[in-house]
Structure 1
Amino acid sequence: KDWREIGYAPRKVNAKIFRRYRAACDRFFNAKNDFYQSIRGELEENLQKKIELCERAEAMKDSEDWRETTPKMIAIQHEWKEIGMVPRRNASRIWRRFIAACDHFFEQKKVHTKSIREKEAENLKLKTEVTDKIKNIDTSLPAEEAVEILKELMDEWHSIGFVPFRDKDRSYNELTKAVDAQYSRLNIDKSERKLDSFKSNISEMTKSDHSRGQVFHERNKLMRQFERIKSELQTYENNIGFLTTSSKKGNTLLDDLHNKVEQNKAELELIVKKIEAIDENIED
């Protein structure tokens, strides 16, 4: 515009100055054209990347594997933010497509989580009621009948399901306290108490996928413990064969070894029952 408004230059330099001016303009507009060509290519490339993200999000939007899919959907959202702009004519449409898939998944997860929380709250109420029943077992019942009722109530408590995480330990501790009180009242054998307590722990652990590895670790630990105690038992039994009872000291050592033998046998029996309890829960 400024060039046109200036007017003519002297004829002898007019053509030369115009060619110089035109060359500068051409260089600029050619560079501008190249720039926008590269930008258009980048925008189209970004569009293709975002279309691929839409397809990935749509493929997962109906998944109910919340634990596995949630981090994948979050990762896709981070990828989206890093890609950059797309052609303006496509920007709104591709965004609506992407956010619709993401919103669908997270809305379904929200509904699922709400139902889980409601179920866990109901489970807590039911477990509390069972614990109260354990506390209030009729003291006039024969011991054998009371033990049977106690074990049935313990099985009922463990069959109920998960409670809110913040209440898990408190609920379990209340059960343990109530059961221990009944065991003490009914004079239940200490090893039987240990076994029932162990079964309760294993039952809780096998309900969670995260804890199943701990269950197998516990089984391996028990197997090693079994072999160690079995070896000790053989040593004690061999030593008994070498001792004589001709002296008071000999009698004392022999009695001590016999006690250790009986103690080891009882421990081995308890370990076997614990391993069987683990195997039963794993099979279930």
Structure 2
Amino acid sequence: MTEHETTPEATGDSGTGAVVEETRAESSTAPPVPVASDHPDRWGRVDADGTVYVKTADGERVVGSWQAGEPAEGLAHFARRFDDLRTEVELLVTRLSSGAGDPKHALTSAKHVQESLAEAAVVGDLAALAARVEHVLAKAEEGLEAAKAAKDEARAQAGARKLQLVEEAEVLANESTQWKAAGDRLRTILDEWKTIRGVDRKTDEQLWRRFSKARDAFNRRRGSHFADLDRQRGVAKSRKQELVEEAEKLVESDDWGPTAGRYKDLMVEWKAAGRAPKEADDALWQRFRAAQDAFFAKRSEAFSERDAEFSSNAKLKEELLAEAEHIDPSHDLETARQQLYKIQERWDAIGKVPRERVRELEGKLRSIEERVRGAVDAQWRRSDPEAEARVAQFRERVEQFEAQAEKARSAGDKRRAEQAEAQAKQWREWLAAAEQAVASR
């Protein structure tokens, strides 16, 4: 055998029928390739010495030698080899048409077939197969262009998405004060960043530098914020410790009103002091509330005792009032005055009563005091040696102003006359009151 020969046992039917069906379904733009094994004598021959020839546009070409059997068997053998090559090409067409094939791999395979056709040891329609290979090459080139366009589009979209992520990160870094949410979002951005592929290296590095810078800026700003917060909380802790110490000192105070007011002020100052570190803040608050509760519990107990004492005092004063009701100044004024004086002393010695009873009880005592005082005043008026003298003095002043008024009228001085008459009228009223006082004795 020559170098182009193969034994019949080395080859077999490769399922060319299925490929034929696929080829028939291919686009009408693809040139058809006849199945060589159907009529191998159309595409080649075997001469008397066993040399196998294939027909080409340039004439016959020797493809091998057949010495193992009948010439027809040799011709069929080389035709099946052609059909195998044809099947390989048709598979490339099918894969490219379905989109399942790699255009680059198809282009390489088609070029390999194209290069091998000039010396291929096959019998078949080489011209049609060459045209079919050209069709595959064209489709592969189209696929490569489409793949390149898709890759460029994907690269552009990937770059645009990373740019969006960078810009969002920069806004968070410069503006956000939602520290936890912003930090979580930056981590999510980083996770998404890692999944984005296809950006050219230079652009990717530039965007990455911006993103890293934004993250660093955010971390610095967040760190500065929490450092300031720690300082503020330290100051708040010191201030609250001072407030707690003062609150604990006030617990033993029995100056109820001012101390209660001071506790209210301490509460206002506590709120104004701000937040201390949580653990310390909670502990200090417990101490503050314990001191406050202790003071007010002590005050409440004292007030309960005081209220009980005041209620007892009120009963004692009611008993005094009942006793005072028997004072009769109309019979013996001096005895009545002495009785009232002793009741007043006992009244003051009893002490305070509940606030809601003060007006009632004081009012009853005051009415008794006024009754005795009225009797004293009446006696004084009756025994006043100056009462008659005042009546005479008032009458004399009335007469003086009446005379002045008459004199002014005679002189034609109307204004002075009116003034004198007004004064005379006032003194007449006083005179009448004095005369009535004397008459009632």
Q: What is the TM-score normalised by the length of structure 2?
A: 0.39
Give the aligned residue type for 1:100: A
1:109 to 2:313 alignment: no
Q: What is residue 210 of structure 2 aligned with on the other side?
A: 20
Q: What is residue 43 of structure 2 aligned with on the other side?
A: none
Q: What's the CA shift for 1:160?
A: 0.8
Please give the alpha-carbon distance, in whole angstroms, between the structure 1 residues aligned to 2:256 and 2:354. Answer: 18
Please give the alpha-carbon distance, in whole angstroms, between the structure 2 residues aligned to 1:24 and 1:170. Answer: 79
Q: Is the 8 A contact 1:121 1:164 kept in 2?
A: yes
Q: What is residue 36 of structure 1 aligned with on the other side?
A: 226
Query: Aligned with 1:136: secondary structure?
Result: coil
Please give the alpha-carbon distance, in whole angstroms, between the structure 1 residues aligned to 2:350 and 2:243. Answer: 41
- The structure-2 alpha-carbon separation of the partners of 1:94 and 1:8, relative to structure 1 and needing over 3 Å to count, comes to farther
Q: What are the within-5 Å matches in structure 2 for residues 260-275 of structure 1?
A: none
- The structure-2 alpha-carbon separation of the partners of 1:125 and 1:81, relative to structure 1 and needing over 3 Å to count, comes to same
Please give the alpha-carbon distance, in whole angstroms, between the structure 2 residues aligned to 1:252 and 1:20. Answer: 114
Q: Is the 8 A contact 1:123 1:160 kept in 2?
A: yes
Give the aligned residue type for 1:42: Q
1:64 to 2:254 alignment: yes
- The structure-2 alpha-carbon separation of the partners of 1:255 and 1:104, relative to structure 1 and needing over 3 Å to count, comes to same
Q: What is residue 362 of structure 2 aligned with on the other side?
A: 172
Please give the alpha-carbon distance, in whole angstroms, between the structure 1 residues aligned to 2:367 and 2:203. Answer: 108
Please give the alpha-carbon distance, in whole angstroms, between the structure 2 residues aligned to 1:150 and 1:253. Answer: 37
Structure 2 residues not aligned, in runs of 5+: 1-190, 381-385, 397-441
Q: What is the TM-score normalised by the length of structure 1?
A: 0.58
Q: Is the 8 A contact 1:61 1:105 kept in 2?
A: yes
Q: Percent identity?
A: 25
Structure 1 residues not aligned, in runs of 5+: 193-235, 237-248, 257-284
Please give the alpha-carbon distance, in whole angstroms, between the structure 2 residues aligned to 1:254 and 1:136. Answer: 41
1:97 to 2:278 alignment: no
Please give the alpha-carbon distance, in whole angstroms, between the structure 2 residues aligned to 1:112 and 1:102. Answer: 15
Please give the alpha-carbon distance, in whole angstroms, between the structure 2 residues aligned to 1:74 and 1:54. Answer: 13
Q: What are the within-5 Å matches in structure 2 for residues 174-193 of structure 1?
A: 174-181=364-371
Please give the alpha-carbon distance, in whole angstroms, between the structure 2 residues aligned to 1:89 and 1:100. Answer: 17
Post-superposition CA distance 1:56-88 (Å, at most 9, x none): 211212111112222111111111122222212
- The structure-2 alpha-carbon separation of the partners of 1:133 and 1:252, relative to structure 1 and needing over 3 Å to count, comes to closer
Q: What are the within-5 Å matches in structure 2 for residues 1-284 of structure 1?
A: 1-7=191-197, 9-136=199-326, 148-181=338-371, 252-253=392-393
Give the 4+ runs in structure 1 shifted more than 6 A: 141-144
Post-superposition CA distance 1:178-227 (Å, at most 9, x none): 3455677xx656689xxxxxxxxxxxxxxxxxxxxxxxxxxxxxxxxxxx
Please give the alpha-carbon distance, in whole angstroms, between the structure 2 residues aligned to 1:79 and 1:254. Answer: 69
Q: Is the 8 A contact 1:131 1:157 kept in 2?
A: no
Please give the alpha-carbon distance, in whole angstroms, between the structure 2 residues aligned to 1:191 and 1:107. Answer: 56
Max Rg structure: 2
Post-superposition CA distance 1:7-66 (Å, at most 9, x none): 464344444443332222111111111111111111222222211111221121211111
Aligned residues: 197
Give the aligned residue type for 1:48: S
Q: Which has the higher contact order (CA 8 A, sep 6+)?
A: 1
Give the aligned residue type for 2:242: E
Give the aligned residue type for 1:107: A
Please give the alpha-carbon distance, in whole angstroms, between the structure 1 residues aligned to 2:236 and 2:379. Answer: 68
Give the aligned residue type for 2:283: R
